[in-house]
């Protein structure tokens, strides 16, 4: 028998509204009792008495047994989610930054208070990757999990490569369609994809890795030169997060733009769609594809978590509990194309091997091997130079 859920919903933005639209059409054993919102002056589509700006009116309401957290302030979200779990309420959240930053603490709270936190909607919108990593791939050795985890940057890259749209117009469209974060540097700077990667790594490998220890290079410095270079070689550029297990001892995590050719399964993942490629020892390659952003796709993942709570579903974090030899490491060599401006950064970056160089006044690039550690150590320098880095397959 399923349990009746009485929900308190935090946030009524794109995803909150999307979730509400879906719930309205269903006959589920649940009701939304109250909505907590930040801005009381915004026009709402529901009766005003359902809304409050006081978080505690939901968190201290004994009738509310389930909190759904869909706000975009990660610090406020952590306060809400941890208090709700400690008050004996189960929680569904789609806040990737908050979860990636506080995952270990949130797991401890769930264990101490016997409550459950689910967050399928936080990673790749509608794609059910967390529950699959947790349950289906429980006993599989995963060689890698990679793909396209950010809808907004993929939307921008698709518009540039397929429709010759300029970067700023494409970004404005992604914002207008409700795909982008409030601060879009989180999308185009590769931060959002990195938060999702940290969560994926946790469920794939049983590791807690702080986001600040993971390299993220975004698409914000993409120039016409880079686009021309890619086109001449029949490449598209995609923003690709990678989690890779190496030699049964280390796990490599990084987010970087990547050249992909038409043989790559990611080549045809366009617009706000995401794709997750799982490379497993026995199942071999598997591919998950679906919308990664937007109110209804993300709302559908949130609803699936809510529905699972009717049966008291919880992540067991089994991979964390098993003794594991795996450690996170940034000591890993990749091949990159680097378009740069100031020659002096090459010395600091310490390329291990150079396979190609191009030198013209306004367009200089180098292709060669470099260690992730060096890219992390020199990230500020790269940003100041306004260069662009792309992984070469």
Q: How far is the CB of 153 from ligand HSE (least distance, A)?
A: 7
Rounded Cα gap, residues 245 and 326, in angstroms: 8
Taking the complex as a whole, how short is the minimal distance between the CB of residue 125 and ligand HSE, in angstroms?
5
- Determine, following the binding rule CB under 6 A, whether residue 292 of this chain makes contact with ligand HSE: yes
Residue selected from 90, 152, 202, 216 as contacting ligand HSE according to rule CB under 6 A: 152
| 8 Å CB contact between 179 and 165 | no
Nearer residue to ligand HSE within complex by CB, 257 or 292: 292
Q: Which is nearer to ligand HSE, 134 or 187 (CB)?
A: 187
- Cα distances (Å, whole numbers) of residue 133 to 104, 128, 142, 251, 319: 17, 9, 9, 16, 10
Q: Does 181 bind ligand HSE (CB under 6 A)?
A: yes
Q: Which of 192, 245, 270, 305 binds ligand HSE (CB under 6 A)?
A: 192
Cα–Cα distance between 32 and 26 in angstroms, integer?
A: 13
Taking CB under 6 A as the rule, does residue 385 contact ligand HSE?
Answer: no
The answer to whether the CB of 251 falls within 8 A of the CB of 136 is no
Find the shortest distance in angstroms from Cβ 392 to ligand HSE.
Answer: 25
Of 87 and 146, nearer to ligand HSE (C-beta) is 146
Least gap, CB of 186 to ligand HSE (angstroms)? 7
> Could you tell me how many residues make up the chain?
393
Judged by CB under 6 A, the stretch of 4-12, 175-183, 198-206, 224-232 that binds ligand HSE is 175-183
Residues near 289 by beta carbon (within 8 Å), at least 6 away in sequence? 127, 269, 273, 274, 275, 276
Q: Which two tokens stand for residue 324?
A: 């594991």
E strand residue ranges, the chain? 5-10, 30-36, 51-52, 66-69, 90-93, 117-118, 142-148, 215-216, 236-246, 250-260, 273-280, 284-291, 327-328, 333-340, 353-359, 364-371, 388-391
CB atoms within 10 A of CB 389: 22
Q: Closer to ligand HSE at the Cβ: 179 or 205?
A: 179
CA atoms within 13 A on the CB side of 49: 0
Q: Which is nearer to ligand HSE, 5 or 239 (CB)?
A: 239
Among 63, 64, 65, 91, which residue's Cα sits nearest to residue 78?
91
Query: To the nearest whole angstrom, how small is the minimum distance from the Cβ of residue 69 to ligand HSE?
Result: 14
Q: Does 150 bind ligand HSE (CB under 6 A)?
A: yes
Q: What is the x/- site pattern for ligand HSE, positions 76-115, by CB under 6 A? A: ----------------------------------------
Please name which of 221, 148, 149 lies closest in space to residue 185, comparing C-alpha atoms.
Answer: 221
Size of the site for ligand HSE (CB under 6 A): 11
Write down the least CB distance from residue 276 to ligand HSE, Å.
13
User: Would residue 196 show up in a list of annotated catalytic residues for this protein?
Assistant: yes
Q: Judged by CB, which is closer to ligand HSE: 124, or 375?
A: 124
Q: Considering only residues 11, 16, 18, 125, which one is a binding residue for ligand HSE as defined by CB under 6 A?
A: 125
User: Of these residues, 96, 194, 196, 291, which one is catalytic?
Assistant: 196
Distance of alpha carbon 130 from alpha carbon 119, whole angstroms: 8
DSSP state of 293: S
Residue 209: DSSP 8-state:
-
Among 10, 78, 119, 179, binds ligand HSE (CB under 6 A): 179
Q: Which stretch binds ligand HSE (CB under 6 A): 61-69, 144-152, 215-223, 351-359?
A: 144-152
- Does 270 participate in binding ligand HSE (rule CB under 6 A)? no
At residue 54, φ and ψ (nearest 5 deg) are -95, 105
Residue 253 beta carbon to ligand HSE: minimum distance, rounded to whole angstroms: 18
d(CA 273, CA 291) in angstroms, rounded, equals 4
Kindly list the catalytic residues.
196
User: Which residues here bind ligand HSE, judged by CB under 6 A?
Assistant: 125, 150-152, 179-181, 187, 192, 292-293
């Amino acid at each position: 028998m399923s349990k009746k859920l009485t929900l308190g919903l935090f946030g009524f933005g794109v995803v909150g509204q999307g979730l509400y639209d879906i719930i309205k059409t269903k006959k589920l054993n649940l009701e939304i009792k109250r909505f907590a919102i930040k801005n009381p002056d915004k026009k709402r589509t529901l009766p005003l008495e359902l809304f409050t700006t006081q978080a505690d009116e939901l968190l201290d309401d004994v009738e509310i047994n389930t909190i759904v957290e869909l706000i975009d302030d990660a610090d406020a979200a952590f306060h809400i989610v941890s208090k709700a779990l400690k008050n004996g309420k189960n929680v569904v959240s789609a806040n990737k930054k908050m979860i990636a930053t506080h995952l270990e603490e949130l797991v401890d709270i769930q264990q101490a208070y016997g409550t459950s936190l689910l967050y399928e909607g936080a990673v790749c919108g509608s794609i059910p990757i967390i529950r699959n990593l947790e349950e289906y791939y429980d006993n599989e050795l995963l060689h890698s999990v990679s793909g396209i985890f950010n809808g907004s940057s993929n939307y921008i890259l698709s518009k540039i490569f397929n429709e010759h749209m300029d970067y700023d117009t494409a970004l404005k469209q992604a914002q207008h369609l409700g795909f982008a974060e409030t601060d879009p540097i989180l999308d185009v700077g590769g931060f959002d994809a990195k938060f999702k990667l940290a969560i994926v790594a946790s469920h794939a490998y049983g590791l807690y890795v702080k986001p600040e220890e993971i390299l993220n290079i975004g698409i914000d410095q993409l120039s016409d030169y880079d686009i021309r270079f890619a086109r001449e070689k029949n490449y598209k550029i995609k923003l690709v997060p990678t989690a890779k297990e190496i030699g049964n001892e280390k796990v490599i995590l990084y987010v970087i733009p990547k050249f992909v050719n038409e043989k790559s399964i990611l080549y045809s993942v366009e617009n706000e769609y995401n794709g997750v490629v799982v490379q497993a020892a026995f199942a071999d390659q598997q591919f998950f594809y679906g919308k990664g952003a937007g109110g209804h796709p993300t709302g559908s993942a949130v609803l699936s978590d809510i529905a699972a709570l009717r049966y008291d579903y919880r992540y067991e974090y089994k991979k964390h509990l098993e003794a594991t030899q795996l450690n996170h490491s940034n000591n890993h060599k990749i091949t990159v194309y680097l378009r740069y401006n100031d020659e002096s950064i090459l010395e600091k970056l310490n390329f291990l091997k150079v396979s190609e160089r191009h030198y013209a006044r306004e367009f200089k690039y180098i292709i060669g091997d470099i260690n992730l550690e060096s890219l992390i150590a020199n990230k500020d320098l790269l940003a100041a130079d306004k260069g662009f880095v792309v992984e070469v397959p």
